[in-house]
Amino acid sequence: MKTPQRLILRDMLPLAFAAEPQKHSASEIWLREVMEFLPGQRHIIRSESGGGKSSLCSYLHGNRDDYSGSLTIGDKDARRLSVREWTELRRSVIAYLPQDMGLFPTLTAMENIILKNRLTSHKTRDEIMEMLDIAGVASLADRPAGKLSIGQQQRVALVRTLCQPFGILLLDEPVSHLDQRANLAVSQLIDREASAKNATVIATSVGNDLQLDGCLRLSL
Amino acid sequence: MVWKLLSTNISRRQIAAYTAANIIGMLIIGCALQLYRDVIPSDDTSSDPLGDIRYTVVSRPTTNAIFGGSPQGISDNDIDDIARQPWAETASAFIPAGFDVTVGLSFGGGGFSTALFFEGVPDEYLDVKPSGWDFDPLHPQVPIILPRDYLTLYNFGFAPTRGLPSIDEQTATLAPLKVTLNGNGISESLPGRIVGFSSRLNTIAVPEEFLLWANERFSPGVTPAPRRVIIKLADPGNPEISRYLSSRGFEESGNGDASRLSHFLRIGAAAVIGVGVLICLLSAGILILSVFLLLQKSRATISGLMNLGYSPRDLSGYYLRLLAAVNTAVLLLAGGATVAAACWWQHRLADLGIYAASVWPTIATMAAILAIQTSLSGWITWRIIRKIWQE
């Protein structure tokens, strides 16, 4: 599949927000005639809790389609994509870090990462260890994910997210549980990987932002 | 690693219950099927424990014949109509002789002779193909096949009471016979010989070729109507046979009991196979319910894996491999037990002169049932996982 990095939102609004205009009246994304995310651009999308950040990520990742308006990925309407096409997008186009991280607690940190990496064999084991090292969790590679702190889990999940080819990096509150130093480390890692792929970065935040240079900050 | 996650919620007890139920169901199906195939052979090349149930001879009864009536003939249309019935494979008339026959036997200066009758039978209906069963008009000699019952009747009924020696089939074929044919104002004697004994044909059979030749010579221009028809049955236990024959005024000779037994066995086997299929369906129900519960318990895991890029097909593939492994074990165990059971009864049947059918078609049927069951369960699994994707 050709890497479709353009995301275009037209008049998009979660159906649940239709009756609550106060939730989206000041939004720079919801109900915009055309909202476009282009290759190489980096966006921080800020909102309070309940503003629809996770909903937006779910729409962009194909988990939900309870919205009005339309979403175009590459040149295709997201609602018309088949299960097979979404699977292919998830493997090689859209890398997604969900807010709940989605780690499997019984598997070790490394097993969680390999579970993703084996789908495309994108990174070698050494490269994975190097990324874990940058994120400050290399020593925890063989520990069950369920035994890690939330901050450690967040960093392991981020490394796992980067273990695939991507044109769009979708991060739902990626540093919400990290201190300043860890935030800087993972921000540098994200910057390196996204730059190498000229990827679109979309990261949500409730206040603790990813420390990326050249970000467009949008309120939701 | 994926399997490590997906197998977390698998209940070994449920798998064991399914496996045990399916083994029992498949064993019942396998044994009933194999026993049915052993006892009711599907072709006439194998032994036939119920008698020649694939052949039957029919005639029209002659209730008033003794008071001057004559047997009712059977027309070509009758024979064609019989052959068109779905339970019939072929049908052919016994060709009657249009001349008188006397057979004499000379031995030690004495001898005896008796009036007989001949009927011509197409070769395909013979259960024996003895050497000498041919006819050459240039050197006419009459080969005869007698019913085996006649020899038995002689050996155990006639000979002991008259102080005559018993004779076996081999000896009987050595006896030189003088066959005298009378008709059309001609009387001619030809050498004859008993070439074999038949368990199937209750007549004194001569080659069709000889009878056509002799009818032409001793009753020219007269074509006697056949009075008996031999039918090769495609479906010996079919109850429609009796209904049809009665409605057309035919009477079956000899084969009715075997046919009824065959019908009874068929119903019995079908009932047992039905019980086996029911058990298999119930076990498949247990399996599908187990898979459903398993997928519900593994919902979060499946959802998480699909978020990583695993497709519903990838994930259902893991469950399908488990189902295939379990059903392969079921096939090996139930198939092995069926073969062992079949060996046990086939030894006993062999003592009765019944030679068993191959077990491979039975095993292939069991494998096909399990393959269908596996595919169906795999498809249901895939559908459930697809549903989890869409939620």
**Between chains, do A63 and B311 touch, taking CB under 8 Å as contact?**
no
Q: Are residues B219 and B232 in the same domain?
A: no
Beta-sheet strand order (sheet of A215-219):
A94-97, A168-171, A200-205, A42-46, A215-219
Pairing of strands A67-73, A42-46: unpaired
Residue B43: per-residue pLDDT? 47
Position B44 pLDDT exceeds 50: no
CA distance B62 to B251: 10
Q: For residue A192, how many other CB atoms are within 10 A of its CB?
A: 12
More confident residue, A105 or B67: A105
Q: Are residues B284 and B339 in the same domain?
A: yes
Domain membership flag for residue A11: yes
Which residue of chain B comes nearest to A112, CA vs CA? B1
- Residues 6 or more apart whose CB falls under 8 angstroms from that of A218 comprise A28, A29, A43, A44, A45, A46
Residue B77's CATH number: 3.30.70
Q: Are residues B111 and B216 in the same domain?
A: yes
**% of chain A with per-residue pLDDT over 70:** 98
- Residues 6 or more apart whose CB falls under 8 angstroms from that of A74 comprise A2, A4, A5, A6
**Between chains, do B312 and A164 touch, taking CB under 8 Å as contact?**
no
Q: Are residues B339 and B192 in the same domain?
A: no
What's the domain range around B357?
A: 2-47+261-390
Task: Judge whether B309 is closer than 8 Å to chain A, CB to CB.
Answer: yes
Grade residue A94 by pLDDT with cuts at 50, 70 and 90. Answer: very high
Strand partners, A46: A205, A219
Contacts of B383 in chain A (CB under 8 A): none
Position B289 pLDDT exceeds 90: no
Q: For residue B2, how many other CB atoms are within 10 A of its CB?
A: 17
Residue A139's CATH number: 3.40.50.300
Grade residue B45 by pLDDT with cuts at 50, 70 and 90. Answer: very low
- Residues 6 or more apart whose CB falls under 8 angstroms from that of A70 comprise A9, A10, A11, A12, A77, A78, A79
Q: Which member of B2, B309, B386 has the closest CB to residue A91?
A: B309
Residue B301 gets the label, from left (phi > 0), alpha (psi -120 to 50) or beta, of alpha
The CA angle B342-B38-B326, to the nearest 5 degrees, is 45
- Residues 6 or more apart whose CB falls under 8 angstroms from that of B67 comprise none
> How many domains are contained in chain A?
1
CA distance B319 to B316: 5
Nearest to A177 by CA among A87, A78, A103: A103
* A114 min Cα distance to partner chain B (Å): 9
Q: How large is the average pLDDT for residues B110-121?
A: 81
Quick: pLDDT tens for A164-207.
999 999 999 999 888 889 999 999 999 999 999 999 999 999 88
Q: Which member of B1, B307, B389 has the closest CB to residue A107?
A: B1
The first and second tokens of residue B351, run together, are 């003592």
**Between chains, do B312 and A106 touch, taking CB under 8 Å as contact?**
no
Which residue of chain A comes nearest to B4, CA vs CA? A107
Residue B46: per-residue pLDDT? 43
* A24 min Cα distance to partner chain B (Å): 26
Position B30 pLDDT exceeds 60: yes
Chain mean pLDDT for chain B: 82
What's the domain range around A153?
A: 7-219
Contacts of A102 in chain B (CB under 8 A): 304, 307-308
Domain membership flag for residue A1: no
More confident residue, B112 or A16: A16
**Between chains, do B307 and A102 touch, taking CB under 8 Å as contact?**
yes
Q: How large is the average pLDDT for residues A148-163?
A: 95
Among A104, A160, A166, pick the best mutation site for testing chain B contact (most B Cβ within 10 A). A104
Lowest mean pLDDT among A35-44, A148-157, A205-214: A205-214
Q: Are residues B170 and B104 in the same domain?
A: yes
* A87 min Cα distance to partner chain B (Å): 5
HSE toward the beta carbon, residue A84, CA cutoff 13 A: 2
Quick: pLDDT tens for A95-140.
999 999 999 999 999 999 999 999 989 999 999 999 999 999 999 9
CA distance B310 to A149: 27
> Mean pLDDT highest for which of A3-12, A142-151, B144-153, B170-179?
A142-151
Nearest to A197 by CA among A40, A11, A53, A18: A40
**Between chains, do B304 and A104 touch, taking CB under 8 Å as contact?**
yes
* B311 min Cα distance to partner chain A (Å): 6
Quick: pLDDT tens for B195-247.
888 877 888 889 888 888 888 888 887 777 888 888 888 877 777 888 888 88
Q: Which member of A102, A120, A164 has the closest CB to residue B304?
A: A102
**What phi, psi does B369 have (nearest 5°)?**
-60, -45
* B317 min Cα distance to partner chain A (Å): 15
Distance spanning both ends of chain B, measured CA to CA: 25
Domain membership flag for residue A2: no
Task: Judge whether B300 is closer than 8 Å to chain A, CB to CB.
Answer: no
Q: How large is the average pLDDT for residues A53-79?
A: 91
Distance spanning both ends of chain A, measured CA to CA: 31
> How many domains are contained in chain B?
3
**Between chains, do A104 and B307 touch, taking CB under 8 Å as contact?**
no
Q: How large is the average pLDDT for residues A143-157?
A: 95
The first and second tokens of residue B148, run together, are 């085996």
- Provide residues of A within 8 Å CB-CB of chain B: 61, 63, 83-84, 87, 90-91, 96, 98, 102, 104, 106-107, 111, 114-116, 118-120, 164
User: Which residue reads 């109509």 in tokens?
Assistant: B81
Among B2, B303, B308, B385, pick the best mutation site for testing chain A contact (most A Cβ within 10 A). B308
Lowest mean pLDDT among A103-112, B57-66, B129-138, B242-251: B57-66
The first and second tokens of residue A80, run together, are 């018309």
CA distance A114 to B27: 44
Q: Which member of B2, B8, B386 has the closest CB to residue A115?
A: B2
Q: Are residues B127 and B273 in the same domain?
A: no
Contacts of A164 in chain B (CB under 8 A): 309
Q: Are residues B14 and B102 in the same domain?
A: no
Helix axes B256-297, B12-39, angle to 10 degrees: 170
The CA angle A98-A101-A107, to the nearest 5 degrees, is 145
Task: Judge whether B304 is closer than 8 Å to chain A, CB to CB.
Answer: yes
Q: Are residues B318 and B293 in the same domain?
A: yes
Q: Are residues B136 and B212 in the same domain?
A: yes
Q: Are residues B99 and B211 in the same domain?
A: yes
**Between chains, do B310 and A111 touch, taking CB under 8 Å as contact?**
no
User: Which residue reads 């798998």 in tokens?
Assistant: B15
Nearest to A112 by CA among B2, B13, B331, B43: B2
Q: Are residues B155 and B200 in the same domain?
A: yes
More confident residue, B259 or A5: A5
Q: Are residues B200 and B286 in the same domain?
A: no
Beta-sheet strand order (sheet of A67-73):
A35-37, A7-14, A67-73, A76-77
* B304 min Cα distance to partner chain A (Å): 6
Domain membership flag for residue A18: yes
CA distance B241 to B250: 11
ipTM of the complex model:
0.90
Which residue of chain A comes nearest to B312, CA vs CA? A83
CA distance A108 to A140: 8
Which SS3 state, helix, strand or coil, does residue B340 take?
helix
CA distance B12 to B22: 15
The first and second tokens of residue A121, run together, are 């064999």
Largest separation between any pair of C-alpha atoms in chain B: 106
Residue B52: per-residue pLDDT? 62
